[in-house]
Amino acid sequence: MVGAETLAGDPGFFLRNAWLIALLPFLSGVLTLTLGKRTPGKGPVYGIAALGSALVLSLGVLWHFVQGGGPAGAELRWFEIGPLQMTLGQYVDGLTAVMLVVVTSISLCVHIYSLGYMHGDVRFTWFYVVLSVFTGAMLNVVIADNLFQLLLGWEVMGVCSYLLIGHWWEEKANSNAAMKAFLTTRVGDIPFMFGIFALVLATGTTTSNIHVIGEKVAAGGVSGPLVAAAALLLFGGTIGKSAQVPLHVWLPDAMAGPTPVSALIHAATMVAAGVYLVGRLYEVFVHADAWVLQVVGVIGGITMLGAALLALVQDDIKKVLAYSTISQLAYMVAGMSMGPAGRTAGFFHLFTHAFFKALLFLGAGSVIHAVHSNDMKEMGGLREEMPLTFWTFLVGSLALAGVPPLAGFWSKDELLVVASEHHPVLFAVLLATAILTAFYMTRAVLMTFFGSFRGHGHPHESPATMTGPLVFLGLASVGVGFLGSPQLGAVFGDWVFFEEPEAAHFVPWVAAVSIGAALLGIAAGWRLYRAYRDPDPVLRLGAFHRLLANRYYVDDAYLNGIVFPIRDRVSAAVYWVNQHVIDRVVNDAARAARTASVGVMAVDRGVIDGAVNGVAGTAGFVGGILRYVQSGNVQRYAAFLFTGLVILAIVFTRV
């Protein structure tokens, strides 16, 4: 960075230029906006080229840590507010490197996939503009070395999510979903911002540098209650962005956006940012009072089980995956509550989940693109018509269910190992959620790809621009899990936390229980849905099904208890102000203007017009006289002359 202050020795080319990884998507967004419509293909080439370059740089950064390299950072002083120094900077460690690879690779797949999925869209170019900026904002969150820079990327992400979810704003449901997502996440962002201010003030630092703050908190020089309060306020941002109870309600409705957007939000950006925040500021959480992490664990436990139950009764394939995302994010949040080993396991699950969840969403998009419906009741029998989509979707489903040797098995196993040692309640909740996950994904696969086709038209396999990313993500969903396996020495933990490896060890009995939970869920799903026909077997749940179908009535409670009363009171207040303040001012102004106009009219007619008319009359009278005098008649001139002489003679005679 030009003019930057280096915080470590020469880090090498890739770490020294890591800031380009976040900058390139922003630049591509600008180029697409200004030149996109005049470019062949209407502009996606800029975003794809930028993300491809960013991925190469990210892999170079990760390779540095694979080789055992250390972290590096740089900062550039921006401006000062009193004693507080505002900076722009980067800090790259193993955690940053892994997240950079995740975000750039998933975003690149989404950019390529969108070539086919969004083809012919009326706002095709604008879609790629916002998609690029959205990715750049997430990369800024990942690479930022200070809280205010992180907050900037955090808020830009929120704006972009509103634009992407509401991309097809012509339908009211889509615009409502975008507004719901924006406002709900803002509720979480308010305590997050206060948490930043509280943390800076509590530590007495002149900078918001994350690592300086972490060192001060770890040193014990900060009041415990203040640290606890700051940690809880910061966690509010995680609850909002990562859709945890009670702010989980926005994420299922966000499925109104284009499917590539859903894949990016659920796999690598937005919702992942909340979990990343806890991990990046872990010194604050781990050195707060013990009950703070207990609160984090309770929120995670309630969310993972509650969301998994909701996924059981969804007919919209994207909403099944949406509730699955909420549940799996809660897995990660719960991991964060279980100490350093849990943090490593949580991040490993974040890493593996990104690939198979992106695979599942893009696979769902391929199906929707073929059948023109999100409803699984209008699908069925697609494995023969769409074999590539089927096999890749199956891989993603098995990975999510935790079937070995796929990626999800290894990361879930690490979480279960940590929970089994010190957190028996969380262990039970994690295990129950694993069974439910395997069940609802089996249900989704069977309803979508098996049996006979229940929809309309002639489904067909998607184009190569859509199936290519599916193949890549399918292979990744098989391979990336081995980075946490004992066969490879659980190298993921070494890369991410190179100073103190914190990876969980492999426990055979826990692995056996994990596999058993997955097989139990799959067997139950196969038993009920192998020959699916209406009515849906989940309807047998009766009153409990109604509870789940109505999403525990949480949305209704928000609407009837908060939204509608506030809306009605605000509407009444606005009406009163309009009637008694604005209208009164306007009416009084109108009356004053009317009165003034009458006076002006009187002055105009009586004074100005009178003066003008008087001058005109006088001029006319004088002109008439002059015209009479200057008539050109010699006899008249002689008479005037004679009269004048007579008058003069009389005057002089009297004198």
The per-residue pLDDT for 596 is 74
Backbone angles phi, psi at 277, to 5 degrees: -60, -45
pLDDT higher than 60, residue 655: no
Burial of residue 506 (CB within 10 Å: 0-12, 13-18, 19+) is middle
Where is pLDDT greater, at 69 or 273?
Answer: 273
Q: What percent of the chain has pLDDT over 70?
A: 89
The per-residue pLDDT for 10 is 61
- Establish whether the linkage from the previous residue to 405 is cis, with ω within 30° of 0: yes
pLDDT higher than 90, residue 84: no
The answer to whether 155 touches 122, Cβ cutoff 8 Å, is: no
| H/E run at residue 543 | helix 543-549
Report the C-alpha gap between 244 and 303 in whole angstroms.
6
Question: How sure is the predictor about 477, in pLDDT bands with cuts at 50, 70 and 90?
Answer: very high
| H/E run at residue 88 | strand 84-92
Q: What percent of the chain has pLDDT over 90?
A: 63
The per-residue pLDDT for 273 is 94
The per-residue pLDDT for 591 is 78
Q: What is the DSSP string of 196-249?
A: HHHHHHHHT-SB-BHHHHHHHHHTT-S-HHHHHHHHHHHHHHHHHHTT-TTSTT
Describe the strand order of the beta sheet including 72-81 as a list of residue ranges. Answer: 5-6, 72-81, 84-92
The answer to whether 42 touches 119, Cβ cutoff 8 Å, is: no
The per-residue pLDDT for 564 is 79
User: Could you report the per-residue pLDDT of 248-300, keeping only the tens digit for each?
Assistant: 999 999 999 999 999 999 988 899 999 999 999 999 999 988 899 999 999 99
Question: How sure is the predictor about 652, in pLDDT bands with cuts at 50, 70 and 90?
Answer: low
Report the C-alpha gap between 41 and 649 in whole angstroms.
108
Report the C-alpha gap between 6 and 73 in whole angstroms.
6
Report the C-alpha gap between 481 and 399 in whole angstroms.
9
Least confident of 104-108, 251-255, 391-395, 598-602: 598-602
Report the C-alpha gap between 54 and 44 in whole angstroms.
15
pLDDT higher than 60, residue 196: yes
Report the C-alpha gap between 141 and 157 in whole angstroms.
9
Quick one: DSSP state of residue 244? -
pLDDT higher than 90, residue 70: no
The answer to whether 74 touches 7, Cβ cutoff 8 Å, is: yes
Average per-residue pLDDT for the chain: 88
* b/e per residue 34-50 (b: at least 16 CB within 10 A): eebeeeeebbbbbbbeb
Where is pLDDT greater, at 574 or 264?
Answer: 264
User: Could you report the per-residue pLDDT of 132-169, keeping only the tens digit for each?
Assistant: 999 999 999 999 999 999 999 999 999 999 999 999 99
- Map residue 262 onto helix, strand or coil: helix
Non-local CB neighbours of 512 within 8 Å, separated by 6+ positions: none
For the four alpha carbons of 421, 425, 428 and 433, in that order, the dihedral sign comes to negative
Quick one: DSSP state of residue 246? T
The answer to whether 242 touches 274, Cβ cutoff 8 Å, is: yes
The answer to whether 265 touches 271, Cβ cutoff 8 Å, is: yes
The answer to whether 237 touches 322, Cβ cutoff 8 Å, is: no
Mean pLDDT for the stretch of residues 80-98:
85
Non-local CB neighbours of 477 within 8 Å, separated by 6+ positions: 352, 355, 356, 359, 395, 396, 399, 406, 407, 408
Alpha carbon 340 to chain centroid, angstroms: 28
The per-residue pLDDT for 8 is 45
Quick one: DSSP state of residue 488? G
Q: Which two tokens stand for residue 498?
A: 């190179």
Helix axes 124-143, 271-280, angle to 10 degrees: 10
Question: How sure is the predictor about 492, in pLDDT bands with cuts at 50, 70 and 90?
Answer: confident
Of 334, 344, 346, 343, the C-alpha closest to 492 is 344
User: Could you report the per-residue pLDDT of 603-630, keeping only the tens digit for each?
Assistant: 666 776 666 676 666 766 656 665 655 5
The answer to whether 447 touches 379, Cβ cutoff 8 Å, is: yes
pLDDT higher than 60, residue 634: no
Report the C-alpha gap between 517 and 466 in whole angstroms.
33
Neighbours of 450 (CB within 10 A): 18
pLDDT higher than 70, residue 52: yes
Of 260, 257, 255, the C-alpha closest to 113 is 260
The answer to whether 196 touches 207, Cβ cutoff 8 Å, is: no
Question: How sure is the predictor about 3, in pLDDT bands with cuts at 50, 70 and 90?
Answer: very low
User: Could you report the per-residue pLDDT of 397-425, keeping only the tens digit for each?
Assistant: 999 999 999 999 999 999 999 999 889 99
Of 320, 337, 455, the C-alpha closest to 396 is 320
For the four alpha carbons of 391, 393, 396 and 397, in that order, the dihedral sign comes to negative
Residue whose entry in the numeric block shows the structure tokens 């184009």 = 463
- Map residue 70 onto helix, strand or coil: coil
pLDDT higher than 80, residue 583: no
Least confident of 132-146, 349-363, 437-451, 604-618: 604-618
The answer to whether 158 touches 185, Cβ cutoff 8 Å, is: yes
The amino acid that residue 260 corresponds to is P
The answer to whether 345 touches 411, Cβ cutoff 8 Å, is: yes
Non-local CB neighbours of 281 within 8 Å, separated by 6+ positions: 210, 214, 231, 234
